[in-house]
Amino acid sequence: MAWLEGSALGHAMRNSGVWTYGLVNLTHILGIASLFGAMLVLDLRLLGAWRRVPLAAVARPAVPVATTGFIVAATSGLCLITTNATEYVGNPFLLIKFPAIALGLANAVVVSRLTAWKARETRDPTPHERRHLAVAGAISLLSWLTAIASGRLIGYW
């Protein structure tokens, strides 16, 4: 944390005007909103909502919006944390947030390797595959909701 705070990015964040932190925080929230908004629709579809809409039709816009949102959230989050990194030492919500993000990402990697996901453009999943996708959708929702809740609570510790 001391290294992050003493980094060039940390210095730049602290010395580039009173609005910088607020604007980067706004960017963080826009990234989170894009990530979670897209994942909410995709995860609910995996859980069985809107069955008549093909999974491929939901995934086509949701995946790039969520990916872009994550990149924006991670980049802006890194800027936020370097600003006063040592203040977060011992903050339990940070220790909940990062494993939750890691779980959300690992779950996305697992889904991307499932046969049913790879074949989504050509066929519907079998009932067995549908159950696997639903479990993945539930894990995803839980991990992103945990990341959001703990991220919001960091500042209240």
Residues that bind ligand HEM (CB under 6 A): 25, 28-29, 32, 35-36, 70, 73-74, 77-78, 80-81, 101, 144, 147-148, 151-152, 154-155
CB 114 to ligand HEM: min, Å: 22
Q: Which is nearer to ligand HEM, 35 or 116 (CB)?
A: 35
CB 38 to ligand HEM: min, Å: 11
Q: Which is nearer to ligand HEM, 134 or 146 (CB)?
A: 146
Sign of CA dihedral 80, 82, 83, 87: positive
Distance, in Å, from the CA atom of 50 to the CA atom of 58, rounded to the nearest integer, reads 10
| Total Cβ atoms within 10 A of residue 81 | 19
Mention every residue, 6+ apart, whose C-beta is less than 8 A from residue 50.
44, 58
Distance, in Å, from the CA atom of 151 to the CA atom of 27, rounded to the nearest integer, reads 14
Q: Which is nearer to ligand HEM, 59 or 80 (CB)?
A: 80
